[in-house]
Amino acid sequence: KITNRFAYQVRHVPHLPDVAITDFSRIHQHRYLPASEEWPIGRRYCGATVSLSDGRARTIWYLIEEGQGFASIGDNVEFCVSGFDRWMVYNGRCRVLR
């Protein structure tokens, strides 16, 4: 899911290099907020290192929101690759997903 969405992003956001994600490593979850009355959506904050087709490695931060997929079926994933958030959707240096 992330690999395909990243490929779409680099094709459609101006001035991003034409690269693809080739591998994930050092995958880890660093925070879990379970669903509760106060927060009805469980969230997992995760990070990893991605290898890109240009030979570089970048940090990726991602958030898995439980039950927030299409029509509330499955989970939703938001992600940010360091250096590829040109429009600051996730604030500077992917801060929102850290």
pLDDT tens-digit readout, 20-45 = 999 999 999 999 999 999 889 999 99
Domain range for 61: 2-97
Segment 73-87 mean pLDDT:
92
Segment 60-80 mean pLDDT:
89
Query: Which residue type occupies 15?
Result: H
N- to C-terminal Cα distance for the chain? 19
Higher pLDDT, residue 68 or 46: 46
Number of structural domains found in the chain? 1
pLDDT for the residue 17:
94
Say whether pLDDT at 72 is over 80: no
Place of tokens 């990243």: 6
